[in-house]
Amino acid sequence: MVLNFEQIHNYYERLVFEEVARLAESHPNFTSDMLADVACVALNRLPARYVRHDVDMMFYLTEQERHAIEQSMEEGLAFAFTFVGERAARRLALG
């Protein structure tokens, strides 16, 4: 038997990566390393939802669940940008 796990991924990864890339324009002082940290912090605040195909996940969600996902992502990303920005500022202040 040949096992193929290549299609399995965390549903939130692509969404978070795309949103960090979109929001990067409004955070011009963030380096690419800081943006990667933002993605990590945000993903760690979201539940892991592993799927093979994103469309499968979307098909089974209710409108309320979709809204809850969007809201969770917004909250997680807002926290992550603030957290990473504050840590970078603290590092600069400490020299």
Residue 4 is assigned to a structural domain of this protein: no
Which residue segment(s) compose the domain that 63 sits in? 9-94
Residue 3 is assigned to a structural domain of this protein: no
Q: Assign residue 14 a region (left: φ > 0; alpha: ψ between -120 and 50; beta: otherwise).
A: alpha
Residue 18 is assigned to a structural domain of this protein: yes
pLDDT at residue number 57: 80
For the cut 90, the answer to whether the pLDDT of residue 39 exceeds it is yes
Confidence of residue 1 (pLDDT cuts 50, 70, 90): confident
pLDDT at residue number 94: 84
Q: Which residues contact 52 (CB under 8 A, 6 or more apart)?
A: 7, 8
Could you give the number of structural domains in the chain? 1
Residue 27 is assigned to a structural domain of this protein: yes
51 phi, psi to nearest 5 deg: -140, 165
Residue 79 is assigned to a structural domain of this protein: yes
Q: Note the pLDDT tens digit of each residue in 50-89.
A: 998 888 787 888 999 999 999 999 999 999 999 999 999 9
